[in-house]
A and B are shown apart, each in its own frame.
Chain A
Amino acid sequence: MPADLRLLDDEQRALIQMVREFADEVAAPAAAGYEERSEDPAALYEQLAQLDLTGIAYPEDYNGLGLPYETYLMVVEEIARAYLGFAVGLSVHTLCAFAVNSFGSEELKRDVLARLCSGEWFGAYSLSEPGSGSDAVALAAKASGSDGGYRLSGSKVFCTRGNEADAVLVMARTGAAGAKGISAFIVEKGTQGFGGSKKEDKMGWRSSPTWMLQLDDAFVPGSRRVGAEGEGFRIALASLDSGRLGIAACSTGLAQAALDEALRFTAEREQFGKPVNQNQGLQFMLADMATQIAAGRALYRHAARLRDAGESYSIEAAQAKLFCSDTAMRVTTDAVQLHGGYGYITEYPVERFMREAKALQIVEGTNQIQRLVIGRKLIQS
């Protein structure tokens, strides 16, 4: 059962129905081709902008729709159900916009957020470095003050759409070692001394380009710093709290797609003279898959409602990311199993889903790190 629309208001229902149509008619049929070609679906991102889906949860003053974050996440889930790699791009874009909306000056919001929300610009997020993954505080990229701005130098890794995006949120060190020495910047595409140096070849998410970025004395005007100097790490973490919910919604959409495929296949495939779904053993697997998906959906939407109400939601976001992405891994693996040998061949989409699920357990904080976040908060309180 896909997400239940019964309790939504008219505006939300209209939005989700429109997104479902776009997802089913446009995004889903295109997904396998883009993945096979390892091609960024630029045309689909453009369409996202035309449909007003690039600033859903941000204020109307900056070209957003001013809708709840919960509604935005439901949109992400619907798109992920059709085409995960594309939904990840939307999630990353929104992550970049979040930082500007929550921490940026009025000038920066007019300058950058308005363009991100209208879809004139797409955003990316760059925290990870070769020597600094889970231990993000250890990041080494440097930003030194220079004539009305900063000069950035260093290497970044694993930046989703880093070379396609028009604006990349880059965390770099303006001060001493430790969290307080980090600042956040918006680096515009085409800035001299900045760009992708290598596109990674990956197991899945092949149409979601992952870049190694090189910063070589790249100049960023002071007006493009997000928040105060030294506030960068706090901004990075706050963005991740929000972004993790995006990954949870992506995970739920992917798991739903795998379940839908498994339901279809097990109804059509006959062995021993009857559809294989007539075996109770398989029905129990399907029941567990559906239940886990429903639980994950409830978890991320609960966290989102807390966020929309202005409550703290950090534990809940970590729980949702952990549970939903583990669910996606389990459900996609079971979907392959339910397809038998057909699940293992590329003609059926479930093998791709299984490869795609793996990255969800790694990005925006590995699931070990989610447990660490949850565990720490638990023993603190």
Chain B
Amino acid sequence: MNIAVCVKHIPDPNVPPQMDGKYLKREGIQGVLDPGDEFGVEAGLLLKEAHGGEVTLVSMGPAAAQEAIRRGLSMGADKGVLVTDDTLKGADALVTARVLAAAIKKAGQFDLVVAGVESTDGYTGTMPGSLAELLDLPQVTFAKTIEVTDGTVKVNRQTAEGYHVVECSLPALLTVTAGVNEPRYASFKGIMAAKKKPVETWSVADLGLAGEDVAIKQDVAGQTPAEERKAGEVITDDGSAAKRIADFLQEAKVI
């Protein structure tokens, strides 16, 4: 079975983010494969190991996004596609979905398209839904476990209380939540092999897109830093501390 996995190159989330006006600064910032997407890549690799076929990584981003693709290739994916074009700078989620949809169509026939639930930099969570619509695929979100048997995929879909069991026919699009699997570390031989795996680089024109297709309509009205976390409550034990802590945890629905 052939699987396309959407991967994003984002500023290293372990480094405090810098802003470029209203937008996240990306140029000159150390980038990484979105840690959330590592779960998507791993999910793709597990399916490939079980059913054969190929895993293709698809990304839109600056030229440096090659690194995110290489990372996925060194984990074991087979090939990559990067759409990079100056006109895409600052692209919103809808434009991104249009570009990825066109890239996935051009890259081949896929039984499954996998994406993270949301990116670790933008967090809109709207791209996968748009992508499914544009590709005319059924979408199953928040996949915890994925099982494929002749032409259908069965997914345990994470909910607040537990999970739904959802089944749908292939081809389909799935979003996977972080923590669904344990993304493998790239082995040394994997890293070396990745250097030789094919990565296509396409422009907007290569995809046959133009004008309205890639017109960025979304405007960021403003941004403000999140409120600093308040200092916690300090309880001095006068004999009632245990109860107060238990009450606090209960209130927070932890116990």
Contacts and interface: CB of A to CB of B under 8 A. Distances in A.
Contact of B189 (A26, A47, A52): A52
Nearest to B189: A52
Interface of A is mostly: helix
Interface residues of A, number: 13
**Residue of B187, B188, B189 most packed against chain A (CB within 10 A):** B188
A14 B192 contact: yes
A14 B191 contact: yes
Nearest to A51: B187
A15 B187 contact: no
A11 B189 CA distance: 10
Contacts of B191: 14-15, 18
A53 B185 contact: no
Contact of A11 (B185, B186, B192): B192
A50 B187 contact: yes
B192 to A, nearest CB: 7
Contacts of B188: 14-15, 18, 51-53, 65
A270 interface: no
A15 B191 CA distance: 8
Nearest to B184: A50
B185 A50 contact: yes
B191 to A, nearest CB: 5
B75 to A, nearest CB: 11
Interface string A50-89: 1111000000000001000000000000000000000000
A201 interface: no
Interface in B153-190: 184-190
A176 to B, nearest CB: 46
Interface in A330-356: none
A21 to B, nearest CB: 7
27 contacts: A11-B192, A14-B188, A14-B191, A14-B192, A15-B188, A15-B191, A18-B185, A18-B186, A18-B188, A18-B191, A21-B185, A22-B185, A26-B185, A47-B185, A50-B184, A50-B185, A50-B187, A51-B185, A51-B187, A51-B188, A52-B187, A52-B188, A52-B189, A52-B190, A53-B188, A65-B188, A65-B189
Interface of A: 11, 14-15, 18, 21-22, 26, 47, 50-53, 65
In the complex, the 9 A-B pairs of residues with the closest C-beta atoms, listed nearest first: A52-B188, A52-B187, A51-B187, A14-B191, A52-B189, A15-B188, A22-B185, A51-B185, A18-B191
